Structure 1
Amino acid sequence: MENRLSLLDHIRSIAQLGLRYANNPYDIERYEKLLDLASKEYSELSDIKQSIIIEKFKSELGHITPKIGVGGVILSTDGKMLLERRSDDETWGIIGGWCDTGESPQESLKREYLEETGLNVKVNELIDIFTRKPGDFGQPHTSYHLLFVCEILDGSMQASFESIEIGFYNISEVEKWHGDHFDMVKRAYDFINSK
């Protein structure tokens, strides 16, 4: 299935680039057909309505690049990690989200922390970059996720509408992780303990 999703990602990218640059009405029609076929296949593989997928695809015309996400880890003095239980799927994960245009990854992560926890943080070292390919964790696109070490500057910790609860936890207490967040957590501990 991974090869099929990768192929669909390439077809979608070609169609969207073609729609951005084509001037010939016949070429535009062909690229729209390609985009329609790709969205139909994505729909069958993901159980997401084709109309939703095609709407997302059509809103991203132009050169298709990977999406960028950020996440940050903060450890307490006793080695517990700041985690959130997400309201969208009730799984546990690190604090983070998608980068917005016009923001650096560090600015995006500061914004995500403030929105999700009420905390102002300092973004320190880059731990690693995680790659998710089409089909990984139900996403139809390639994305890169930058993982940073952070520290709390100030603020009052409180959960937002995106979280059911937040706090410092031993990772052994967590039963259900969001996507690849457990891999990120393990990598963060390895990075921090190697210093």
Structure 2
Amino acid sequence: MDDKLVNWIAELQSIAQAGLTYGKDVYDRERYQRIREITAEMMAAKTGLSLEKVTDLFCGETGYQTPKVDTRAAIFKDNKILLVHESDGTWSLPGGWVEFNLSIKENTIKEIREETGLEATAEKIIAIHDRNKHNVPEYVYGVCKVFVLCRVHGGEFVENIETTGFEYFAEDEIPTLALAKNNEEQVKMCFRAYNDPNWEVEFD
């Protein structure tokens, strides 16, 4: 029931945002604005976050509501996958939100460089996942996660504000993962793609 409630709130917010974008009648726009405020109030009550925080996260965009895009890089050496060490002690595939002025390929390369110091090329799409079908916790906005097979050709680790290092792991020694970013099945999927020359892109 909680999941349904969150989904209803998110759908109402999306409808309100579209109404504010395309609505012409001033009275209708007032109604859409109030619906959007109510969704923020409901989400604040549901999550325990402040109304200001929820409004900033949940109602901060304009225009037609579309999913955000996140890229994750799969880099291999000796049939081991590279994972970066997060500041909270968990591990993840290098990656992050796609910048507004970068392509999928450009953003993947940028994230590798920022989080590892390595120089790489992005070679093949492994999968495009609807985040809420695979990862926890569920977000109130849509996210498309793009997993990209990459190849390193230089560089070395550079200290940064996001990660504290990286290591390569075999498939049977995957450490504790940052589940909001990637889970064990997604990492194992990358292994399958790496070892299958005829891999076909997975997508939801």
Q: How does 1:122-137 map to 2 (within 5 A)?
A: 122-133=121-132, 136-137=136-137
Q: Is contact 1:71-1:94 (8 Å) kept?
A: yes
Shift of 1:47: 3.5
Per the alignment, in what secondary structure is the counterpart of residue 8 of structure 1?
helix
| Bigger mean CA deviation after superposition, 161-170 or 41-50 | 41-50
- Equivalent residue for 1:103? 102
| Bigger mean CA deviation after superposition, 153-162 or 142-151 | 153-162
- Equivalent residue for 1:183? 185
Q: How does 1:81-96 map to 2 (within 5 A)?
A: 81-87=81-87, 89-96=88-95
- Equivalent residue for 1:80? 80
Distance 1:47 1:164, change over 3 A: farther
Q: Is contact 1:119-1:155 (8 Å) kept?
A: yes
Q: Is contact 2:171-2:188 (8 Å) kept?
A: no
Q: Is contact 1:158-1:166 (8 Å) kept?
A: no
Per the alignment, in what secondary structure is the counterpart of residue 133 of structure 1?
helix
Q: How does 1:151-170 map to 2 (within 5 A)?
A: 151-170=151-170
Cα distance in 1 between the residues matched to 2:109 and 2:11? 33
Cα distance in 1 between the residues matched to 2:65 and 2:155? 37
Cα distance in 2 between the residues matched to 1:165 and 1:48? 32
Distance 1:136 1:2, change over 3 A: farther
Distance 1:44 1:177, change over 3 A: farther
Aligned-partner residue type, residue 60 of structure 1: E
| Bigger mean CA deviation after superposition, 184-193 or 1-10 | 1-10
Once superposed, what is the RMSD of the aligned Cα atoms? 2.0
Cα distance in 2 between the residues matched to 1:45 and 1:150? 40
- Equivalent residue for 1:140? 140
Distance 1:186 1:159, change over 3 A: farther
TM-score, normalization: structure 2? 0.85
Cα distance in 2 between the residues matched to 1:32 and 1:173? 50
What is the number of residues matched between the two proteins? 193
Q: Is contact 2:132-2:138 (8 Å) kept?
A: no
Q: Is contact 1:71-1:97 (8 Å) kept?
A: yes
Q: Is contact 2:72-2:148 (8 Å) kept?
A: yes
Cα distance in 2 between the residues matched to 1:48 and 1:141? 16
- Equivalent residue for 1:3? 4
Structure 2 residue runs of 5 or longer lacking an equivalent are: 198-204
Per the alignment, in what secondary structure is the counterpart of residue 157 of structure 1?
coil
Shift of 1:102: 2.1
Q: Does the alignment pair 1:15 with 2:8?
A: no
Distance 1:158 1:66, change over 3 A: same
Cα distance in 1 between the residues matched to 2:56 and 2:196? 45
Q: Percent same amino acid among aligned pairs? A: 24
Per the alignment, in what secondary structure is the counterpart of residue 160 of structure 1?
coil
Cα distance in 2 between the residues matched to 1:47 and 1:192? 42
